[in-house]
Structure 1
Amino acid sequence: MAQLILNHLTKHFGGGRPAVSDVSLKVREGGFLALLGPSGCGKTTVLRMIAGFERPSDGSIEFGERRLSDASLALPPERRNMAMVFQSYALWPHMTVAENVGYPLKVRGISGEAWKRSVGEALSLVKLTDYADRRPAALSGGQRQRVALARCLVTSPDVVLLDEPLANLDQHLRKSMEETFRIFHERSGATMVYVTHDQAEAMALATDVAVMSEGRLMQMAPPAEIYARPEGAIVGGLIGRGAVLRLALPGDAPRALEWPTLKCVLAGMGKAEAAEQPLRDVLVRPEHVSADSEGIALRVSTCTFEGERFALTLALADGQMLKAYGDQAMKPGETARFVISHGWRL
């Protein structure tokens, strides 16, 4: 197994800003990288360049000792030993499930018992052995996606590329398919690059998350690290739930802010001494806000029941909004005291 490396990757499609601008990252061997960002951020363009469907305008892509692409050359997709799973599944409607799964083997000239054995193993992995003779039209969306995964598996690819594969599925099927992806990754041992705009998917599946915005890589880190220590307001806003507050902080304030510091900052809102301090972006997660008689008084703006808890929106003295969770309902307009146990200066 080798490492997938992107070196200063850039892609122009004409005038204006590039679709991808100077992206450099390394995907760990056998890792699961999620490319996360809003529509138009360049994540799918990166995936297409890795696959060989687009050539970089600048920079290069390497897999181990092999250079796959740069501005002057591009190894064709069929010579990269990669497999791609599309949002649309891309199954042949006139073929059976087994024929769809085994098609890449047929192209490589594999037939007979070797073909049957490989197709059977792939279908067993995605739990579709009993559906081998059906056609795609007789399958659910989740089953079609599992056929597409099995088709990847039969070629034993070095890299599997997934372009928003769960976008067409309902929430229940998404959770089921996430587990299928995890099993697929464990058993195949392939490096996986997964494009999504859904941060919950990225956090649940990936060993590393790369956040993109306007063609640039903003931060790449393991899910727990990128959640706890996001770099900048863009990453902080995309990962998890929370509020980015503009607070007057002393110049020597640490990045990890605890309640004593935050209490002084919130209590000083609107006072003359606060105006002398620079305004900084501070991310506060709702799980770090709790009702406490020793806290600071905040007005409840909204209260929504989410099943196992209540989601609150709280108004600070200057009108900024803060998110919190509670175990009981609060009436909009009432005032209660809250403690913020932790904040992260972006």
Structure 2
Amino acid sequence: MTHKIAILGASGYTGAELVRLIATHPTMEIVALAANSKAGLSMADVFPHLRHLDLPDLVKIDEIDFAGVDLCFCALPHATSQAVIKELPKTLKIVDLSADFRLRDPEVYAQWYGGQHDALECQAEAVYGLTEFYRDDIRAARLVAGTGCNAATGQYALRPLIADGLIDLDDIIIDLKTGVSGAGRSLKENLLHAELSEGAHAYAVGGTHRHLAEFDQEFSAVAGRPVKVQFTPHLLPANRGIIATVYVKGDADAVYKSLSNAYADEPFVQMLPFGQQPSTRHIRGSNFCHIGVSGDRIPGRAIVIAALDNLTKGSSGQALQNANLMLGEEETLGLMLAPVFP
């Protein structure tokens, strides 16, 4: 069976990444690509690296006949996404890559995103899209909310440890570095080559990054009580990749065993041997997350380091993984591409 696929927001980085992945998917066919600002252009015009593919031209969203679509990926900015999704057919399966449906509490959404949620009916049915922990719910869902890429990285490092009660919940530090593609494709002065290259800097310091809302929501749900972490992201002069160094109070051997048990049967989350650490260069362009654990010279402390590609496992690859489940396909279809190295 071939599933008909539409991608809204196809002219952005996550839209292009979806096209790249679906191009080799054995049961998916892209039948519609929307990008309002670039409507009328071909994908080859917008992304020359995709010129070898036979793809429909970009159109405006309201030109798409969704009656012929089985599943829609929505790769639009937050606020825009909810306005579009609430008008789509109620029978259409949707994977949203924006932040609009990640947070279960509308008041929390308003606090972090600066405006009231305008699609509460859709928000109420949305399933959080961290595949490894919501697999059964995703399989039965109509609307899945993709996670933040930083939020996914931190959760892979921490969720099993919180669930197993192995670490001090009041002393968790996530020190994260991310590539520039996570900021999107729109023009920004601080992302110009001359402004960004040959340096790195922290941003959203002191607890202002929006992905903290996901950490608060998910870690508190796992723990059964409020959990707040310290989180500082840093922007690297690299196109892709996230690496998070997570500091916890807990026995390093027990931490390693907990993570190894949690991910033993997961196709995309791979534990490194104890004491080895991951690198963004080893997951580039793939749907894999690598995790390493080391002890610290201070007894009773452990360091967990997780790395993934923000555009793939952190966004579009995760979205395709979820779409496979929603369509009754093998979860790994189209996603077993090896990382690009060097």
TM-score normalised to structure 1 length: 0.28
- Please say which structure displays the higher CA radius of gyration: 1
Q: Which one has a larger percent strand, Structure 1 or Structure 2?
A: 1
TM-score, normalised to structure 2, is 0.28
